Structure 1
C-alpha cells in the first residue's frame, strides 16, 4: 500500500489534514514539516529526505507549490499527485507587496493580528463567522509561529512559475478546489488541469480555500478515488 505524504499550507499544521489522516489510517502517512526554510526548493529537499522511497503526494495551497517542486526534484519517487486549492503561477507584484506588508507587521508589531487578518480569505464566505473553524485556524498559526511564518512567506514570494513544467507530469493527478476559494480561485485549477495530461478536476461547492477542513467528506472521497486508481486518469 502506497505511503502518503501530506504537505500543509501557509500557517497550517497536520491539523489541516486531520480528517484525512483518520480516513487513511491504514497506510503510512508523513505530514511534511515546511517551517524550516525560506525557499520552496530547500523545503522540498527536506521533505524528500524524510519521505519513503516512493509515495503518493498531496499538497494544499503552499503545500501545492512544494509538491510541484518535489515532483521536479524526484519524479521517480512520486506515484501520484493531488493539488488542492493551489496554483502553478509565480507571485504577482501585488501579491508580493501584500505578503511583505504582513512580514513587516509581524516584525514591527507582533504576530497576533496576522491570523485574524488572513482568516476571512482562508475560508468560504459562509464560514467567516464559524468560531470553531476560526479557532482551529488560529491554533495552527500559533503553533507555526512568527519566525516560521516569515520563512514560509518568503518561500512563497520566491516560488517559480510551474506552468511550463505541468505538461511533463505523467503520474495520476487530481486537481481540486473549493468553488468559493478566493485566494486560489477555480480558474487557476482549471488552468492546471488543462496543462497536466490526463488529470482529474474536482470543484467542491460551498467550500473555500481550506477545503480539507471545510468539506472533509467531499475531499476525503475525492482523495480515496485518486489514491485507489491503478493507472493514469483517462485523457479528457
Structure 2
C-alpha cells in the first residue's frame, strides 16, 4: 500500500477530492487528506502535514490550488521522501502586488455576510467553466465549514508564499501538471509555464473545466490521476 497525501485549496477540505479519493483508494492507495488548521505560514503547514506520517515514511502528493504551495514547501523540506506529485489547477508564482488588498476585501465581506455568500457573490462566475448549482453549493459548504479564522490564516499563506519557479526548474521528481482549459485563476498559460520548468513533468489540460476541475470533470481527472499514480503495486 502506498501513501497518497491530498492537499486541498483555499476554503476547501477533503470534499473537493471526494471522487479522486474513492478512485485511488479502490486502486490500493492509502489516501490521507491534510485538514488545514489555523497555521498561517507554509512552514507550520508542512510540519502539520509531515506529522501525518511516520518518520522517514515515503508518500506521493496530489495538490489542488493552494495545496500546490504546500507541496512546494514539502518538496523543499524533504524531497527524498516524496515519490511523485500531481498539481491540479495550481501555480508557482509569488503573490501579485495587489493580492493582499483584494483578499482583505474578500475577508471583510466574509466577516460581514458569511463565507457562503462570499463564494456566491465573488466567485460563482470564475470557479467553473459552466454554471452548476450543485457544485457551487458544495464549494460554498466547504467554505462555511472552514470558518473565518482558518480562512484568514490561509490568506496569509497566499500573501507570503515564495516563488517556486527555481524549485521546479531544479526538480527531478515525476510530476503531473493538470488544469482546466477555462481556469481564469490559475490559467493554462501558468500550467504550461510550470511544465516547461519541470523537466520530468507531463501536462494535461482538461476541456470544459474551470478552476475546480476535480469537481467539474471528475471522471477525466480521475483517469489521469489513476494513470499517473497507478495501482498500489506500481510502487
Q: Same fold (TM over 0.5)?
A: yes
- Looking at structure 2, the residues matched to 166 and 106 of structure 1 have their Cα atoms a distance apart, in angstroms, of 34
Whether 2:31 is the aligned partner of 1:18: answer: no
CA contact (8 A) 1:40 1:156 kept: no
Question: Among 161, 164, 167, which residue is 1:165 paired with?
Answer: 167
Alignment RMSD: 1.7
Deviation at 1:210, TM superposition (A): 0.8
CA contact (8 A) 2:195 2:201 kept: yes
Whether 2:63 is the aligned partner of 1:59: answer: yes
Paired position in structure 2 for 1:123:
128
CA contact (8 A) 2:40 2:154 kept: yes
Q: How does 1:82-161 map to 2 (within 5 A)?
A: 82-108=86-112, 110-116=114-120, 117-124=122-129, 126-127=130-131, 130-161=132-163
Question: Among 59, 70, 76, which residue is 2:74 paired with?
Answer: 70
- Looking at structure 2, the residues matched to 91 and 84 of structure 1 have their Cα atoms a distance apart, in angstroms, of 18
Task: Classify 1:75/1:136 alpha carbon distance in 2 versus 1 (closer, same or farther; 3 Å).
Answer: same
CA distances 1:75-122 after superposition (whole Å, capped 9, x unpaired): 111100011101100010122221121123234555442222223222
Unaligned runs of 5+ in 1: 232-236
- Looking at structure 2, the residues matched to 160 and 154 of structure 1 have their Cα atoms a distance apart, in angstroms, of 12
CA contact (8 A) 2:116 2:141 kept: no
Unaligned runs of 5+ in 2: none
Normalising by structure 2, we get a TM-score of 0.92
- Looking at structure 2, the residues matched to 30 and 138 of structure 1 have their Cα atoms a distance apart, in angstroms, of 23
CA contact (8 A) 1:54 1:79 kept: yes
Aligned length: 228
Paired position in structure 1 for 2:182:
180
Superposition misfits of 4+ residues, deviation over 6 angstroms = none
CA contact (8 A) 1:57 1:80 kept: yes
Deviation at 1:55, TM superposition (A): 0.7
CA contact (8 A) 2:89 2:178 kept: yes
- Looking at structure 2, the residues matched to 103 and 143 of structure 1 have their Cα atoms a distance apart, in angstroms, of 15
- Looking at structure 2, the residues matched to 158 and 2 of structure 1 have their Cα atoms a distance apart, in angstroms, of 32
